[in-house]
C-alpha cells in the first residue's frame, strides 16, 4: 500500500513539472484572403439632374378669341397634320363676313353703273353734248368705285381667312397632350389649348456649375442613366452656352438623345452623366470596404516585426466601377487588400494568408 502511494505521488510531481515547463503560445493569426490593389483606367465623370425637352413639341394656341363649342380629340391621340382639334364659335365672324360680302355685291353693282355712266359720257363728249368736266367726273367716280371694290375684296379675303382660324387644326403630325380647356370655356390668343408632341429625339438640358464650365466643350460624352445607375442612352454634347445663368450660376449644355423606344418623355427630369475624360486610378473590391460614421475604411495586410498584421486604413472613395470602388486617397497600387474575414479584425490583428 505504501508503494502504491509513493508511485502516485511521483506521477503527480512529474505532471506538475511538465506543466511548469510548457512555453506559452501566442495567437497564430486569423486566416484571410487578400487582393492586390491595382491601377485601372477609370472615367472621370460627374452626374447632374437634367431636363429633357423636345424640339418638336408645339404649344397650340388659338389665333382668335371666342367660346369653345366642340373638342374633336382626346389627350394621347395620335393625329396627322391638318386634323381638326377644336372649334371656336364662329357665329360672330360669319356675320361679319356676310356683311362684307353683301357690301361687296353692292359695290360691284355700283361699279357696273359707274362703268356704264363713263361710257355714256364718253359718247356724249365725242358728240360735243357734254363738257370735258362732266367726262372727267364720271371717270373719277369710276376709278373710285374700282378702288373701293378692290379694298372690299381684300377685306372679304381677310375675313374669310379669319373665319378659318375658328377651327383649330394640327400644324403637324404628333401626339395630343393634356387638354386643359373644356367646351364652353372662353379662350383668347394667349390660352394654351393643348400641346402636340412629335415622337422621336429629345434634347438633354444639362446645367453645369460654373466651376467646371472651363472643361465643357462640344463632343464630350453624355450618358443618361436610370435610378439604378444603368445607362439607357448615350450621346455627346453639341451645344455649350456662351453665357452663365445669373440666377443659378450654371452653364447650359445640350445633347441630343435618341428615344426610339419612347421610354423618355418631354419635360422629364433625368440623371445625366458627363464623361470628362479617363485616368489611371487605384481600385479596391467593394466587399473589402466598410463605412463607419460616414468614413470609409479598408484593412491592408502589412509586415510588422516579422509578422503579417491587418492595418485599418481610412479611404476617400469615388464612383464605383463594376464591383470595385475607385480610391482617391488611402490606398496605393500594390497594397494587399484584405477581402475576407474583415468582421473579425481590429487594427493590428495578426493575420495568416493561405498560400496557393
Q: What is the pLDDT of residue 279?
A: 82
Report the pLDDT value the prediction gives residue 189, as an integer from 0 to 100.
Answer: 94
| Residues 274 and 284 placed together within one structural domain of the fold | no
pLDDT at residue number 356: 58
Closest CA to 93 of 183, 164, 184, 21: 164
The residue with cell 441630343 is: 256
Count of CB atoms situated within 10 Å of the CB of 78: 11
Cell readout for 179 is 387638354
Instruction: Please report, for the domain that includes residue 334, its CATH number.
Output: 2.40.420.20
| Enclosing domain of residue 328 | 30-42+280-352
Give the residue ranges of DSSP H helices in the chain. 2-21, 91-126, 132-164
Whether the predicted pLDDT of 262 surpasses 90: no
Neighbours of 271 (CB within 10 A): 15
In a domain, 4, yes or no: no
Say whether both 120 and 52 belong to one domain.
no
70 and 131 in a common domain: yes
> Highest mean pLDDT: which of 204-218, 248-262, 339-353?
204-218
Count of domains observed in the chain: 3
Report d(CA 4, CA 211) in Å as an integer: 95
Among candidate residues 254, 278, 302, the one where a domain is terminated = 278
Q: Is 24 inside a domain boundary?
A: no
pLDDT at 20: 46
Chain segment 299-355, per-residue pLDDT in tens: 999 988 888 999 999 999 887 777 888 888 888 898 999 988 888 888 888 988 887
| Residue 261 confidence (pLDDT) above 80 | no
Give per-residue pLDDT as tens, 86-122. Answer: 999 999 999 999 999 999 999 899 999 989 988 888 9
What is the phi/psi pair of residue 251, to 5°? Answer: -115, 130
Residues 224 and 178 in one domain: no
Report residue 169 as a C-alpha cell: 387644326
Cβ pair 185, 68 in contact under 8 A: yes
Cell match 472615367: residue?
43
Residue 80 covered by a domain: yes
Burial of residue 62, with CB atoms counted within 10 A of its CB: 0-12 exposed, 13-18 middle, 19 or more buried: buried
Same domain, 67 and 166: yes
Instruction: Check whether residue 288 and residue 235 sit in a common domain.
Output: no
**C-alpha–C-alpha distance, residues 209 and 244, integer Å:** 9
Residues in the chain, overall count: 356
* Same domain membership, residue 73 and residue 173: yes
Q: Which of 179, 195, 211 is the last residue of a domain?
A: 195
Verify that 205 and 90 share a domain, yes or no.
Answer: no
Within a domain: 121: yes
Q: Are 266 and 54 in contact (CB under 8 A)?
A: yes
pLDDT value at residue 21: 44
Better pLDDT: 13 or 283: 283
Rounded Cα distance between 35 and 301, Å, is: 10
3-state SS class at 44? strand
184 and 72 housed in the same domain: yes
Alpha carbon distance 161, 168 (integer Å): 13
Query: Given this model, what pLDDT does residue 25 score?
Result: 47
- List the grid coordinates of 206: 444639362
Answer yes or no: is 144 within a domain. Answer: yes
Phi, psi of 15 (to 5 degrees): -65, -40
Q: Tell me the CATH number at 238.
A: 2.40.30.170
Q: Are residues 121 and 139 in the same domain?
A: yes
pTM above 0.85, yes or no: no
Contact 301/338 with Cβ under 8 angstroms? yes
Q: Same domain for 314 and 260?
A: no
CATH number at residue 80: 2.40.50.100
Query: At which of 148, 167, 195 does a domain end?
Result: 195
Specify if 288 maps to a domain. Answer: yes
Establish if 12 belongs to a structural domain: no
Task: Please determine, for residue 45, whether its predicted confidence score (pLDDT) is greater than 80.
Answer: yes
25 in any annotated domain:
no
pLDDT of residue 2: 43
Amino acid at each position: 500500500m505504501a508503494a502504491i502511494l509513493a508511485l502516485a505521488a511521483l506521477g503527480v510531481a512529474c505532471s506538475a513539472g511538465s506543466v511548469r515547463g510548457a512555453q506559452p503560445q501566442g495567437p497564430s493569426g486569423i486566416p484571410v484572403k487578400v487582393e492586390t490593389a491595382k491601377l485601372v483606367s477609370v472615367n472621370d465623370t460627374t452626374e447632374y439632374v437634367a431636363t429633357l425637352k423636345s424640339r418638336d413639341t408645339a404649344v397650340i394656341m388659338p389665333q382668335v378669341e371666342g367660346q369653345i363649342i366642340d373638342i374633336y380629340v382626346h389627350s394621347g391621340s395620335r393625329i396627322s397634320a391638318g386634323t381638326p382639334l377644336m372649334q371656336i364659335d364662329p357665329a360672330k365672324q360669319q356675320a361679319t363676313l356676310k356683311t362684307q360680302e353683301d357690301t361687296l355685291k353692292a359695290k360691284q353693282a355700283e361699279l357696273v353703273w359707274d362703268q356704264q355712266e363713263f361710257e355714256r359720257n364718253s359718247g356724249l363728249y365725242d358728240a360735243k353734248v357734254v363738257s370735258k368736266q362732266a367726262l372727267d367726273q364720271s371717270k373719277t367716280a369710276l376709278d373710285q368705285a374700282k378702288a373701293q371694290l378692290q379694298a372690299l375684296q381684300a377685306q372679304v379675303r381677310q375675313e374669310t381667312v379669319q373665319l378659318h382660324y375658328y377651327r383649330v387644326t394640327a400644324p403637324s403630325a404628333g401626339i395630343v397632350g393634356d387638354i386643359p380647356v373644356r367646351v364652353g370655356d372662353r379662350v383668347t390668343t394667349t390660352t394654351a389649348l393643348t400641346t402636340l408632341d412629335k415622337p422621336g429625339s429629345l434634347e438633354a438640358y444639362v446645367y453645369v456649375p460654373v466651376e467646371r464650365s472651363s472643361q465643357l466643350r462640344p463632343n464630350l460624352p453624355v450618358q443618361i442613366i436610370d435610378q439604378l445607375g444603368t445607362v439607357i442612352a448615350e450621346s455627346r454634347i453639341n451645344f455649350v452656352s456662351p453665357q452663365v445663368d445669373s440666377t443659378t450660376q450654371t452653364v447650359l449644355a445640350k445633347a441630343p438623345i435618341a428615344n426610339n423606344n419612347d421610354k423618355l418623355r418631354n419635360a422629364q427630369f433625368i440623371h445625366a452623366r458627363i464623361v470628362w475624360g479617363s485616368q489611371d486610378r487605384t481600385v479596391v473590391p467593394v466587399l473589402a470596404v466598410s463605412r463607419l460614421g460616414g468614413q470609409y475604411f479598408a484593412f491592408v495586410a502589412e509586415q510588422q516585426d516579422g509578422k503579417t498584421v491587418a492595418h485599418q486604413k481610412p479611404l476617400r472613395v469615388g464612383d464605383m466601377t463594376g464591383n470595385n470602388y475607385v480610391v482617391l486617397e488611402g490606398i496605393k497600387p500594390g497594397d494587399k487588400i484584405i477581402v475576407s474575414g474583415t468582421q473579425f479584425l481590429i487594427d493590428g490583428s495578426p493575420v495568416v494568408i493561405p498560400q496557393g
